[in-house]
Each structure stands twice: as structure tokens, then as C-alpha cells.
Structure 1
Amino acid sequence: VTQTKEVKVLDCTLRDGGYYSNWFFDKDLVSSYLEAMSASNIDYVEVGFRIPTAGS
């Protein structure tokens, strides 16, 4: 029996950084970050969940 192990990479930079920036990120920063993650062959990007507030 041959087993092939596949490693998947998850980046949580935006999720963790959101705790410090109250999930405010410039759109250009997010766009550049996601392009870099795509070019780096990162399998998953975790963004977290921002609870909506009135007016947001």
C-alpha cells in the first residue's frame, strides 16, 4: 500500500492582523496581499469574520 501525503498551507495573516486593525485594511493592500498569496501557491487564506455594525 502506497500512501501519498499532501500538505495544504493556510495563511491567517489577515485574520490575525484584523485583531490589531479592527479589520480595517486598505483595498489596495488586500488586493496586493491576495495576489502575492496566489503567486506563492498558498492553498487557503483565512480572513475571519467581522461582525457587522449599524451603518457598515
Structure 2
Amino acid sequence: MIICRIDGDTIEELHNEAGKEYYSQDWLEYVIRKLIKGEYYVNLFKYKRRKK
């Protein structure tokens, strides 16, 4: 069993970083999947570079 804590501060930080860019929704889904698995995630800028 894995325990993942995503609190209000984390959600607010992710929301502010995502903004309203083209890849924002995909990036947020990616980050949440990584947080649930307990893995490291890349920031939005690096994520966009990997997707292009």
C-alpha cells in the first residue's frame, strides 16, 4: 500500500505553475500520477520540451 499526501498547498503550487498553457492539463495529470507513485516529476518547461 502506498500513501500519497496531496494537500491544498501542493495543489495551489501546481495550479500556479501550470497556468493556462497548451500542455497544462497533460502536465497536471502526469504530475499527479508521479506523486501517487512516489516518483520525481519534471517541471512544466521540461515537460513541454520532451513532448515536442
TM-score range, shorter chain: 0.3 to 0.5
- Which is helix-richer, 1 or 2? 2
TM-score by length of 1: 0.32
- Which is strand-richer, 1 or 2? 1
| Structure having greater relative contact order (Cα 8 Å, sep ≥ 6) | 1
TM-score by length of 2: 0.33
Larger Rg: 1
